């Protein structure tokens, strides 16, 4: 065995016996290893090489058409007590779940190689980082983990120093949509995932470890593991701020994280840098602020909609060293997806000649995997062991009506209420119906590893752990007009809202108190060079009293579903809002 950590060595041996793998391979993270995996994936047909002139070292993987998104109905939290998983999760008794999974894993790697991937979530030298080991039989998963985490020898050395690591066992198994399970044992720090090769189901460092297991661990240890991007904002006077924002899957985190401000802002000296686009681990520092790291080292981003005029930073990183999953191809083997440009694709995401009658050419949840280092706006602060101090936390979602462009919480508890009750229309990132409005607290509905009531209580309790917490805001880029068009231009123009938010943090921007929070008037938003009717902006900043009374009734019903574990502070803040609406 290639490690001095006895627990790890024993576990790998046990898994090899159970799965009856032919070979065991320990990933070291070297460039030579990366190349040899690419060669193997090309040879066995998992990868197709894309146009080498336009996209050197880029690969296309077309998955089984039934395995294209997270499967929330087959994802379980297996705590000893059912109620600890909460109504927000599917639960299974841990013993029963282990038996079920071990039955599926039994002999499943016969004739295959078992890959051991030691990885570190966060900079190798950061005290906020945590390690894990994923065992998988999928070389495609190895290559994605290589880009998404700090994997290989360095991570293994840290595991050997610390002793502590999360155990993740994965096999693509036989593809059978009904024999597919993503199981989490937060009390044991164990993950078992069978039957899917898709990102959030199979790259266990990401949602399974960095959110579901880590959120549970964070509650015990007094920190936060969140589904948030982290971005840096430098103002013209040189003040450096960092903002963390939680939006549900496919609701704009990658885009906001890589935002390029409108021309006028650039001329004035505003600068946006990217720390992370999906996950944020935060803990109180000695100065009473929250300090955050991005535990990931790459981006697993939504391809459709990524274009020169929406997210040029993302597009720029995708011309080299990128894995594309379930996108379409042009006649000259370049990757293509809806919204990229007006070329007509030749081959769709299922490898068929493109025919519009078959639906979109690229799957709506098609993705790219790329190292964060390839992003032009990637911040060097992402590698800081101490993390970055957070000035503001933003919650958001897709709401076609009611929810205003931006709103600031009255205080921390009000901010927790806003986050806990944020709702959004469902997207293609998970299987199921798209466009249904559901509450997605802190964008963590699919990712919180324990009871939401306890989770909100943990959020409320951060006040006792840090006395200089960030200000909290909600945003909504997705309001629609009567014709179904977006009212707010979004993307780079979101900078105008960020400017107001930073102004609030610095005490330089105006707000007026409304029934739902502290809001700007239209004149408080910088609209220089913005081609937009004044009354549209007014509408985006209006508070519809009737609509909010109904919304708050639905919020109260929602909180009730979580019973007596809901912190009273949330009901108090809801009551305050209701009184103001009278
Ligand atoms: N109208 C509008 N669409 C946006 C905006 N920002 C992002 N989008 C679109 O929303 C989709 C998803 O955006 P992403 O930034 O990839 O979402 P995400 O939150 O990072 O998604 P996950 O990786 O699933 O967590 C893309 O098709 C974007 O083009 C915006 O400000 N306005
Ligand atoms: O987890 C995934 O597969 C992709 C992702 O970021 C999300 O769905 O939020
Ligand atoms: Mn995500």
Torsion sign over Cα 90, 95, 101, 104: negative
Average pLDDT over every residue of 346-354? 98
- With a CB cutoff of 8 Å and minimum separation 6, the contacts of 442 are 226, 227, 246, 395, 419, 420, 422, 448, 455, 459
User: What residues form the annotated binding site for substrate?
Assistant: 70, 198-200, 249, 365-367
Residues facing residue 292 across a β-bridge: 282, 388
Query: Do residues 300 and 148 make contact, with C-beta atoms less than 8 angstroms apart?
Result: yes
pLDDT tens digits along 534-563: 999 999 999 999 999 999 999 999 999 999
Task: Please choose from 226, 429, 431 the residue to mutate so as to test ligand 2's pocket, defined by most ligand atoms within 8 A of CB.
Answer: 429
Q: Which ipTM did the prediction report?
A: 0.99
Write phi, then psi, for 144 (nearest 5 degrees).
-70, -40
- Adjacent-strand bridge partners of 60: 48, 324
Using a 6 Å cutoff on CB, does residue 446 contact ligand 1? no
Q: What's 255's DSSP letter?
A: H
486 Cα to the center of ligand 1, angstroms: 13
Known binding positions for GTP: 250-255, 367, 398, 491-494
477 lines ligand 1 (CB under 6 A): yes
The response to whether residue 255 sits with its C-beta less than 6 Å from ligand 1 reads yes
Q: What string of DSSP letters covers 179-191?
A: S-EEEEETTTTEE
Class of domain 299-374: mainly beta
Q: Delimit the domains of the chain by residue range.
A: 6-46+71-222, 226-297+381-581, 299-374
- Residue 159 makes CB contacts below 8 A (sequence gap 6+) with 3, 5, 8, 118, 131, 133, 165
Token duo for residue 561: 């579903």
Using 50, 70 and 90 to split pLDDT, how confident is the model at 18?
very high
How high is the pLDDT of residue 178? 78
Q: Which ligand is nearest to the CA of 257?
A: 1
- The alpha helices in 249-377, defined as continuous H runs, are 253-257, 263-268, 312-317
Residue numbers annotated as active site = 251
Annotated binding residues for Mn(2+), written as ranges, equal 207, 227, 278
Ligand 2 atom, smallest distance to 367 CA: 4
Ligand 3 midpoint to CA 248 (Å): 7
Average pLDDT over residues 107-128: 98
Ligand 1 lined by 309 (C-beta under 6 Å): no
Query: What's this model's pTM, rounded to 2 decimal places?
Result: 0.97
Rounded to whole angstroms, the Cα distance separating 404 from 397 reads 11
Give residue 305 CA to ligand 1 midpoint distance, Å.
8
Pairwise CA distance, residues 318 & 374, whole Å: 8
- What are the tens digits of pLDDT across the range 146-200? 999 999 999 999 999 999 999 999 999 987 877 899 999 999 999 999 999 999 9
Let me know if domain 226-297+381-581 sits in CATH 3.90.228.20.
yes
Ligand 2 atom nearest 248 alpha carbon: 9
What is the structure's pLDDT at 90? 98
Task: List Cβ neighbours of 149 (8 Å cut-off, separation of 6 or more).
Answer: 119, 120, 121, 155, 205, 296, 297, 298
Length of the chain, in residues: 582
Residue 527 contacts residue 418 (beta carbons within 8 Å): no
- Predicted confidence (pLDDT) at residue 481 exceeds the cutoff of 80: yes
Q: Six-digit token pair at 173? A: 């198994």
- Pocket flag, ligand 1, residue 247 (CB < 6 Å): yes
Question: How would residue 322 be classed by pLDDT, with cut points 50, 70 and 90?
Answer: very high
Q: Do the Cβ atoms of 511 and 432 come closer than 8 Å?
A: no
pLDDT number for residue 177: 78
Segment 402-436, tens digit of pLDDT? 999 999 999 999 999 999 999 999 999 999 999 89
Question: Ligand 2: residues within 6 Å at CB?
Answer: 70, 199-200, 206-207, 249, 278, 300, 429
Query: Does the Cβ of 172 fall within 6 Å of ligand 1?
Result: no
Instruction: Give CA–CA dist 225/442, Å, rounded.
Output: 11
When computed from its CA atoms, the radius of gyration of the chain, rounded to whole angstroms, is: 23
50-91 pLDDT, tens digit per residue, is 999 999 999 999 999 999 999 999 999 999 999 999 999 999
Among the listed residues 322, 516, 309, the one whose alpha carbon sits nearest the alpha carbon of residue 410: 516
- Ligand of minimum distance to the alpha carbon of 252: 1
Position 175 scores a pLDDT of 76
Q: Which atom, in ligand 2's list, is nearest to the CA of 203?
A: 3
**Spatial separation of the C-alpha atoms in residues 58 and 39, rounded to whole Å:** 12
Q: Which two tokens mark 6?
A: 């006895």
**Could you give the CA distance from residue 262 to residue 526 in angstroms, rounded to a whole number?**
11
Domain 6-46+71-222's class? Answer: alpha beta
Q: What is the DSSP string of 515-556?
A: SSSEE--GGGS--TT----HHHHHHHT---HHHHHHHHHHHH
Q: What is the pLDDT of residues 352-385, one digit of tens each?
A: 999 999 999 999 999 999 999 999 999 999 999 9
Ligand 1 contacts CB of residue 366 (under 6 A): no
Encode pLDDT of 255-298 as tens digits: 999 999 999 999 999 999 999 999 999 999 999 999 999 999 99
Q: Whose CA is nearest to atom 9 of ligand 2?
A: 249
pLDDT of residue 98: 98
142 three-state secondary structure: helix
| Ligand 1 site, residue 503, Cβ cutoff 6 A | no
d(CA 403, CA 548): 9
With beta carbons less than 8 A apart as the criterion, state whether 442 and 395 touch.
yes
Q: What is the pLDDT of residues 504-541, one digit of tens each?
A: 999 999 999 999 999 999 999 999 999 999 999 999 99
Contact 430, 249 (CB under 8 A): yes
Q: Please, what is the average pLDDT of the chain? A: 97
pLDDT band, residue 2 (cuts 50/70/90): confident
Of the candidates 144, 76, 95, which has an alpha carbon nearest to the alpha carbon of residue 446?
76
- Work out the pLDDT band at 1, boundaries 50, 70, 90: low
Stretch 102-115: mean pLDDT = 97
Query: CA 579, CA 65: separation in Å to the nearest integer?
Result: 51
């Amino acid at each position: 065995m290639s490690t001095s950590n006895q627990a790890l060595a024993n576990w790998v041996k046990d898994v090899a016996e159970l799965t009856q793998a032919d070979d065991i391979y320990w990933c070291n993270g070297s460039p030579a290893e990366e190349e040899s995996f690419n060669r193997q994936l090309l040879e066995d047909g998992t990868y197709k090489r894309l146009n080498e002139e336009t996209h050197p070292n880029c690969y296309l993987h077309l998955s089984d058409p039934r395995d294209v998104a997270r499967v929330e109905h087959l994802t379980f939290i297996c705590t000893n007590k059912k109620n600890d998983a909460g109504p927000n999760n599917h639960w299974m008794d841990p013993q029963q779940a282990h038996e079920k999974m071990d039955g599926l894993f039994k002999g499943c790697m016969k004739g295959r190689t078992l890959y051991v991937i030691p990885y570190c979530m966060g900079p190798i030298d950061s005290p906020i980082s945590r390690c894990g080991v994923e065992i998988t039989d999928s070389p495609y998963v190895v290559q994605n983990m290589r880009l998404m985490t700090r994997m290989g020898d360095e991570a293994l050395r840290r595991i050997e120093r610390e002793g502590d690591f999360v155990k993740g066992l994965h096999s693509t198994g036989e593809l059978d949509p009904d024999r597919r399970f993503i199981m989490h044992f937060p009390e044991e720090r164990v993950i078992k995932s069978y039957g899917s090769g898709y990102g959030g189901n199979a790259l266990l460092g990401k949602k399974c470890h960095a959110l579901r297991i880590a959120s549970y661990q964070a509650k015990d240890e007094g920190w936060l593991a969140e589904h948030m991007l982290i971005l840096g904002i430098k103002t013209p006077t040189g003040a450096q701020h960092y903002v963390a924002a939680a939006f549900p899957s496919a609701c704009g985190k990658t885009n906001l994280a890589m935002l390029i401000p409108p021309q006028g802002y650039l001329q004035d000296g505003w600068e946006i840098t990217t720390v992370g686009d999906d996950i944020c681990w935060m803990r109180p520092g000695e100065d009473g602020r929250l300090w955050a790291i991005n535990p990931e080292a790459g981006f697993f981003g939504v391809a459709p909609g990524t274009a020169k005029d929406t997210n040029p930073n993302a597009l720029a990183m995708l011309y080299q060293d990128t894995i594309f999953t379930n996108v379409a191809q042009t006649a000259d083997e370049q990757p293509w997806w809806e919204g990229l440009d007006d070329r007509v694709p030749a081959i769709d995401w299922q490898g068929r000649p493109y025919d519009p009658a078959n639906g979109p050419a690229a799957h709506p949840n098609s993705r790219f995997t790329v190292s964060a280092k390839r992003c032009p706006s990637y911040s060097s602060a992402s590698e800081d062991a101490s993390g970055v101090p957070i000035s503001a936390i933003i919650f958001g979602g897709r709401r076609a009506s009611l929810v205003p462009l931006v709103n600031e919480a009255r205080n921390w508890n009000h901010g927790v209420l806003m986050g806990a009750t944020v709702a959004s229309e469902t997207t293609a990132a998970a299987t199921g119906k798209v466009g249904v409005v559901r509450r997605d607290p802190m964008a963590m509905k699919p990712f919180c590893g324990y009871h939401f009531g306890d989770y909100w209580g943990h959020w409320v309790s951060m006040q006792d752990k840090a006395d200089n917490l960030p200000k909290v805001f909600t945003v909504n880029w997705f309001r629609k007009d009567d014709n179904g068009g977006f009212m707010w231009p979004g993307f780079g123009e979101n900078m105008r809202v960020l400017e107001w938010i930073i102004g609030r943090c610095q005490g330089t921007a105006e707000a007026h108190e409304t029934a739902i929070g502290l809001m700007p008037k239209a004149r408080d938003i910088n609209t220089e060079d913005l081609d937009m009717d004044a009354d549209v902006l007014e509408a985006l900043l209006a508070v519809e009293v009737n609509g909010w009374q109904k919304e708050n009734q639905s919020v109260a019903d929602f909180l009730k579903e979580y019973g007596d574990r809901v912190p009273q502070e949330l009901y108090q803040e809801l009551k305050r809002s209701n009184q103001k609406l009278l």
